[in-house]
Amino acid sequence: MLENVSSFLDPVFIAPYKAALALSGDALVAFILGTLALVVITTVIGELTMAGVYWLNRRHFASLRRDMITHNNLSLQALAQKDKVSFTACNRLANEFFGRNLFSGFTLFASSLWPAVFALAWMGSRFGAIVVPLWGFELRYPALFVPLYVLARIGFGLTKKRIWPFTRITAWISRNEDCGEKLMTISDLLPKEPDETGKTDKPGKASDTPA
């Protein structure tokens, strides 16, 4: 199956390599730039796939987020009231929903990796026998693609909030998971120092005073 898909995508994947070779006239430079372009393509497709999967399961993710925040806050409020029984029960549920939320996040991320799998399969069919002399080492295609892909995903994760259409996607996800209550921490239980107006923030509530 991967071989059939790789053959179908060959004209698209090879285009950046041909363009880089035409511009640079150097095979090594063309291979590096073409692989970089391939990494960007697979990253964007993966991120769009992840957004699509999230949309299909949007109610599930919103519910997990709401339940996690609600039980976390209830457990901390019980702790503040020194209600050990309620704290234990709510904290157990909060940990359960936190674990489910974390697992769902990992599953969601995994859905974005399929373009990289196909890209590696295609590179194997195209460049499997090629050895690239780089940094004093003789490298094969995975040694270049994988580090570039990891860096691209990290960089994209840090900047996608400023890139269209991911700005709108990120804002929509925030609205979808907004349950009207912020996630409390232990610091919210500590005594608050009064501001210039003499008011203090209440635990679990946003401040009424503009920052």
Structure tokens at 100: 């489910």
pLDDT value at position 5?
57
Range of the domain at 166: 2-61+112-176
Predicted confidence band of residue 211 (pLDDT cuts 50, 70, 90): very low
Average pLDDT, the chain: 84
Residue 194 has pLDDT above 50, yes or no: yes
Confidence (pTM): 0.77
Q: Is residue 93 in some structural domain?
A: no
Please report whether residue 133 resides in a domain. yes
Q: Within a domain: residue 184?
A: no
CA distances from 71 to 80, 184, 196, 201, 206 (A): 14, 10, 33, 20, 18
Residue 98 lies in a domain: no
Residue 34 lies in a domain: yes
Rg (CA), the chain: 24
Beta bridge partners of 132: 139
Asked whether the predicted pLDDT for residue 88 surpasses 60, the reply is yes
How far apart CA 29 and CA 31 sit, in angstroms, is 5
pLDDT at 210 over 60: no
The helix (run of H) or strand (run of E) holding residue 8 is helix 2-24
**Placement of tokens 């960089």 in the chain:** 155
Tell me if 46 is assigned to some domain: yes
Checking if the pLDDT of 73 tops 90, the result is: no
Please report where in the chains the tokens 């391939």 appear, as a residue.
38
Mean pLDDT of 148-175: 90
Query: Is 38 inside any structural domain?
Result: yes
Domain annotation covers residue 129: yes
| Structural domain total, the chain | 1
pLDDT at 37 over 90: yes
Instruction: For residue 108, name the pLDDT band (cuts at 50, 70, 90).
Output: very high
Q: Which residues of 129-155 are buried (b: 16+ CB within 10 A; e: fewer)?
A: eeebeeeeeeeebeebbeebbeebbee
Whether 75 and 5 have beta carbons less than 8 Å apart is answered as no
Residue 198's pLDDT band, with cuts at 50, 70 and 90, is: low
